[in-house]
Structure 1
């Protein structure tokens, strides 16, 4: 499986370079290759691997929504939305850890699979909700710590539109994971609830700690870790 994982990811990376893909920076693509090898050679296999690809595609699509308007307002993503190494691991380090732990502790694989799915459900919920769709379509935004109205794009701000988009994103990830047999159907609400709890915590962290103590990528990692832990506790 390890050799196959290297072959598949090398071929996909070469395809990305050849087609001049715009989702990842060159260094981001290299780190995504390493992440792909970890996932595809672990117990999550092609199911978990394709789930991560789904997150990347859906997250990248959400980034492009009203990109020009967000850039003009100063709340768009840097580098035209292309993701670098820090974004790759901020989003997927928790999932990679779940995959590796499953190799070391086979008896815990069912629980770790739920945690893995929840980590990606959490990240897509955050990406589609507060950070992308919420910025583009959020009409009324409130700061999570004070509930005062703030401009779209404010760290820690939440909106009804962004929250609903986030819930939909988590259900897409959990639903796909069930469809391919990575987790049982009963785990869909578990992953969705865990994602909601985690992104709510992330909004508070963004409002209080981001930009000072922690970078955005560290907050993202904490967010996915909370989602994974909550899902494991509920499963």
Structure 2
């Protein structure tokens, strides 16, 4: 190692010393110019590399400023989502397709811009809970023909169908529609929409995995697992707990108050029961071919948001001081 170091030092001292130029005095001027050019070009390359490095450092510094900024902006929301999605890609690919990840990135950016890190964490918690429930007894559900397609990996239509109401609430919050008086209402609607959806997903997946008896929502007749509009005691309880858990996270993160968390849980159960009735009455029926799962999801989460807002206005505002 000592000999390698001394050799490198010797090479450096030779390359940096201008006294070595006299060794080329016997060469022609053309050769001298060529050699001078070869001596100066590494310096030029080093200057170019230094400029490129400085430019990269400037970009990284600006990105870090955006990531560390406290007030959410569109730029900071994009920067933070890029970082999070890169780091979380191993988890994302288990629950989303490539185009689904792109749609989720747009949702994450919008959520961060509207509600900051707390809103983003709420949506992330919804995603983790929903994905975990979908994976439960996947092999058995596939054998019975009731499992989600593509091993439960959701595409962009599913992402949009699950978040449409939340996106609307986020947009209304960003542009302060209705002024400050409506700000908390939109936030409540946002949280309630995801409480509704996680309750729907968990109740459906756990019901298909563990439900012993499933009943049709409209007639309460016993029907096979996986039937549109079917409900089970096991699935309903699991969905209730999932909604309660997500509402508690929203309360802990400061998105909603404890009374509003209770409203979100109750609204989610009302909305899910309404969705079961819609599924049993109209889905897959003649004349309602357009009423697919994605459309029903939009109706479901929209109902969850609206019911929560109405309950806040007509119950909490008047009864809870």
Distance 2:111 2:267 in 1: 22
1:118 aligned partner: 192
Is residue 145 of structure 1 aligned with residue 212 of structure 2? no
Do the aligned partners of 2:113 and 2:174 also contact (CA within 8 Å) in 1? Answer: no
1:87 aligned partner: 158
Q: Return the offset for 1:213.
A: 3.5
Do the aligned partners of 2:92 and 2:101 also contact (CA within 8 Å) in 1? Answer: no
Q: 2:147 aligns with which of 66, 73, 76?
A: 76
Q: Report the secondary structure of 1:96's partner residue.
A: helix
Segments of 5+ residues of structure 2 without an aligned counterpart are: 1-72, 313-321
2:305 aligned partner: 228
Is residue 36 of structure 1 aligned with residue 108 of structure 2? yes
Q: Report the secondary structure of 2:95's partner residue.
A: coil
- Relative to 1, partners in 2 of residues 1:11 and 1:75: Cα closer, same or farther, differing over 3 Å? same
Distance 2:92 2:166 in 1: 27
Q: Deviations over 1:77-117 (max 9, x none)?
A: 10000011011111111101101111222421111111111
Higher radius of gyration, 1 or 2: 2
Is residue 165 of structure 1 aligned with residue 238 of structure 2? yes
RMSD: 1.3
- Relative to 1, partners in 2 of residues 1:26 and 1:16: Cα closer, same or farther, differing over 3 Å? farther
Q: Return the offset for 1:222.
A: 0.4
Larger helix fraction of residues: 2
- Between 4-13 and 89-98, the greater mean CA deviation after superposition: 4-13
Which of 1 and 2 has higher RCO (CA within 8 Å, sep 6+)?
A: 1
Number of equivalences: 233
Segments of 5+ residues of structure 1 without an aligned counterpart are: none
Q: Return the offset for 1:206.
A: 1.2
Query: TM-score with structure 2 length normalisation?
Result: 0.70
1:213 aligned partner: 290
